[in-house]
Structure formats: C-alpha cells, structure tokens
Structure 1
Amino acid sequence: MNSLPLFHRIAGQRVVVVGNGDAADAKRRLVERAGGIPCGEPEAHHARLAFIALDDDRQAAAVAIRLRTKGLLVNVTDRPAMCDFTVPSVLDRDPVLIAIGTGGASAGLAKHLRLRIEAILPPALGQLAAKLNAVRDVIRQRFPDMAERRRAIDAALSEGGPLDPLRGDAAERVDSWLAANHSAVDARTVEIALTSDDPDDLTLRQARWLGVADVVLHDAAVSSEILARARADAVRKEIGTDILPAGDDGLTVVLRCP
C-alpha cells in the first residue's frame, strides 16, 4: 500500500478546478456532488484541494507548482506522477461510501471493480448505517463495555448474523437485535498454519478470524502482508516475547509459519 485512503470533507468549501472540457466538467460535478464549491485558481487562497485538467503537460505542471506553493493538495488528471492524491471510483450508498482506487494505475479497472461490488450490495445498505448511527447511544447503554460492544456488533454484522449488511431488511432488524438477549462471547484461541506469505492463500474462514481477532500471536517470520489483514487495533505479539493473554473473553489467533 503506497497511499493512505482518506475521506475528505468538502461540503461548503471551495475546491479549485483548473481547465475546460469534459475532464474539467467531470471534476466540477464531482466536487458539487460532495457538497463542495468549484472555483478557479484566483480563489486558491480559500481552498485546500485542487483538480487540474489541462492537456498540455508543461502548463499542467506549472499550475500544480503554483497551487502547491499556496498549500493546496493537487490532482492532475491522467498524470499520477504529478498527483498528491488520486480520486477513487466511488460506490455511493449514502452514508456508506466505498472507494476503490488503483493509485492512478487504471481508472477503468477501479470502475469495473465498483460495478461488480455494486451489484452485490443492497440499495438499503445506507439505511442500515443511518439506523446504527441513530441508535448509537442505545447501543452504548446496552453494551457499556467497549470490547463487549465491539464483539456484539461484529457478531451481528457478520455473515448470517441478524444485521448481515447483505440482507435487504437489515435496517429493520436493528431494534429487535437490541431487544434480544445476548450471551457473552466465550474466550477462544484458533491456530492458523500458514501455507505461504501471500495473504490471498488464506481461506475465507482464516481471513474472517484475522479480521475480528482481539489478539494476534505470530511467529517472527510471518509476513507483514499477512499481519495487515488483522484489525488495526488488535493486540499483536511475536511468539517468544512476553505473550499478552487474550483476557476473559474474545478471540486469539495464533499464526504459525509453514
């Protein structure tokens, strides 16, 4: 991964768009769709982001330099090497946004990946997100312990769970999920015998375990690509150092090299 994916809030803010023609018009529409206000280079002092859609390489590079010196992050259409940021293909299930990027390598590939995913996700997915946001305080009261709350939500949103995001009626089931009795998740440990350093060789079950594990214990030689599949906030310990136990509940995954 050579880029950090971020969602930048631009509602009500000016965004510089330099250029004419279809490419520049598309950037202006994109800015407006996100609630931003397209403007020209003379208003750059009001902006933090800029899109440059110019055919001439030297002209585009000159504009990019001028805008960077004013503190703006710059995207230059079809010139990834000149870009501070790239624009992903966006699947919009407001407030759920799924962004698919290739670092500027192929906008076409990003688009077709989005179209495949779009066919899988139900149109009501945004309603589920909005409902979960609306009952955020209720969820905190129902599960006051943060770790317990995360595990309960993970279980509900998992494949086949009561709030499975691929269910078209998931939003309608939130209230009944909150009202149900929830038993504590027993502590357990699973061991994964890796077959290679390639995360694509993980089985679907192994990938799910890594994605929800509270603690990841691993051999020293386990690749960083495998470890990157674990939750960012999971506790990670190399086997052979002072091992931190999982606690009274939760999932511990042990990764063993081949």
Structure 2
Amino acid sequence: MQSACPNGSADVTGRIASLPLFHKAAGTRIVVVGEGPMADAKRRLVERAGAMAVGEAEAHHATLAFVALEDPGEAAAVRQRLKAKGLLVNVADKPDLCDFTTPSILDRDPLLIAIGTGGASAGLAKHVRLRLEAILPQTLGALARALAEGRDRLRAALPDGDARRRAVDAALRRGGMLDPLEDASAERVTGWLANPATDAPARLETVTLTSDDPEDLTLRQARWLGEADAIYHDAGIAPAILARARADAQRHPLDEAPAAPSEGFALILRRG
C-alpha cells in the first residue's frame, strides 16, 4: 500500500524526490496510532515485515511510526509528539506531515519490488504493480535464492569483482542463461556456476541520442544504460539520460572512448 505523502517528483536534472531504502524491521517495534481500516492496514504491513505494532506509549522503543487518524488536528498533535521523541513519522493521507512513504509492494521473496509515486497516487502505484505481477514469474524468488546460495562458488570461480558483475549481467540480460523472465532460469544456476565467465565477452556499443528526454530512449538503449560498466559521453548529454545508467558505472569523457572492446561492457553516448 502507499500513503499519500508526496515529496514532489523527479525532475529533468536526474534528481529523485525521495531516497528509496529497504528498512530491516524484523524484531523491532513500530508505533501505529489509530483505529479502523486504515490503521489496521498499517499494522498488517508492520507485522508482515516481522516487526511488532505498538502504541504511542512505547514510542521510546521505536524509530518509525504510522499515524492513521481522521481528525487533522489530532493527527498533527500526535505527529508532533512522536517527532519530539526522534521518530520518523508517516501520517496517512496527510502529505505535508510525512517523513516517509510506503510503496506498493510486489513480493517474490526474497526479491521485493517497491513501487512509489512519492504519494502522488497510491492507485497508480497499485496498478503498475498489478501489471508487473502479470509479467514477472513466480520463479523470480527461486532464482534469487539460487544466486544467493551460489555466491561463494561464484567468488571462487571469479575472484575479481568486476569480472563477477560482468558475468552476472551477461547471464541475467534478456536471452541470457539466467534471463529473469524465463521460468526455467532458477534451474540453470548450478550449470551456469560451473563456468560463469563463458557468457561475459567484452562489449562496446554506441548510442546516438536524438533527444535529451529519457522517455525517448529505445528499450535497447535503456537496457544498455542499465548494464554498462563504463560510459563515455559527450559533455552535453542530459543529466536525466545519465541518471538511467548504473550508479556504479564509470563515467569518462567521449574523447577517451576505446576504438574496440577491451573488457567489460563499454557504452559510448553521442548527441545526434
């Protein structure tokens, strides 16, 4: 579920409105204030995360709180008391009183996909999740567990961190041995671990951009941005385009671009 607590939306500079985090709550106490369907939904969410829903009297044991009260004045007063005790507070349906939002959740345990709109529209987040539910196979969880169980074997086969990342990227990309959208991928992990580097050849691709709008990227271009280990780009490439790249991808000026593949996946971005 998602509380309506907007913090704005991403702008063309590539900034994001909220910092998305997964908070480990198992074994902790989280304050939930209120009664009725809205408060009950918050308690179910808290318990689903392995935490204990407690009242305001136990706020000194908690770091997070949900307030689900219909009366605006009462909700603001409770929030103020909880804030004074150092808690981060979500006030249901009170956008200006929220420190954090709760996204719509797609659960493929241990893979968890959180879809947020910064509180702009809980309905939109829900329907995006429902579309993804129809696309993403239930076996994604099994694939994630198999990869976790094989982590030590992968490190033994490929001690170099960059080599491991390239091998995993190659295996998980569309059509790869471990394509996440194929039901049988989880069953292939053991075979892949026997020689994970075979699917990770050096690559060099070039994209010529015709627009500064990331919405104009083709599916292939967007995928390459998300996969590339290194990006060589014109100084004038829009920040919103570069924001689609992996956060840990190395960035280089265009004049340093290689002439041929050497190692990993290098992507050249030019303006049209």
Q: Same fold (TM over 0.5)?
A: yes
Which residue of 1 is the match for residue 6 of structure 2?
none
| 2:103 alignment counterpart | 88
Counterpart position of 2:267: 253
2:65 counterpart of 1:50: yes
TM-superposed CA distance for 1:247, in Å, is 8.6
TM-score, normalization by structure 2: 0.90
Out of 140, 146, 160, the residue aligned to residue 125 of structure 1 is 140
Unaligned runs of 5+ in 2: 1-15
TM-score normalised to structure 1 length: 0.94
C-alpha distance in structure 1 between counterparts of 2:42 and 2:143, whole Å: 30
1:235 matches 2:257: no
Tell me the amino acid that sits aligned with residue 252 of structure 1: A
Residue 210 of structure 1, CA deviation: 1.1
Matching residue's letter, 1:98: I
The alpha-carbon deviation at position 140 of structure 1 amounts to: 0.5
**CA contact 1:80–1:86 (8 Å) conserved in 2:** no
Structure-1 residue corresponding to 2:236? 221
* 1:185–1:124 Cα change, 3 Å: closer
What do you get for the CA RMSD once the two structures are aligned? 1.7
Aligned equivalents of 2:51, 2:103: Cα separation in 1: 17
Asked if residue 137 in structure 1 is aligned to residue 152 in structure 2, the reply is: yes
Name 1:79's counterpart in structure 2.
94
User: Are 2:30 and 2:52, in contact at CA under 8 Å, matched by a contact in 1?
Assistant: yes
Matched, 1:148 2:151: no
- Structure 1, unaligned runs of 5 or more: none
Relative to structure 1, the CA distance from residue 145 to residue 19 in structure 2 (aligned partners, 3 Å threshold; closer, same or farther) is same
Task: Name the aligned partner's letter for residue 115 of structure 2.
Answer: I
- CA displacement, residues 67-126 of structure 1 (integer Å, 9 cap, x when unaligned): 111111110101122110000000011101000000001101100100000111111211
State the alpha-carbon separation in 2 of the partners of residues 188 and 114 from structure 1. 33
Aligned to 1:210: 225
Q: Kindly report which structure 2 residues correspond to 1:176-195, keeping only aligned pairs within 5 A, or say none.
A: 176-180=191-195, 182-183=197-198, 185-195=200-210
Q: 4+ runs of 1 displaced by more than 4 Å?
A: 244-247
**Which position in structure 2 is the counterpart of 1:32?**
47
Distance 1:73 1:247, change over 3 A: farther
Measure, in 1, the Cα distance between the counterparts of 2:242 and 2:189.
Answer: 32
Distance 2:175 2:205 in 1: 21
Q: Do the aligned residues in 2 keep the contact of 1:80 with 1:103 (CA within 8 Å)?
A: no
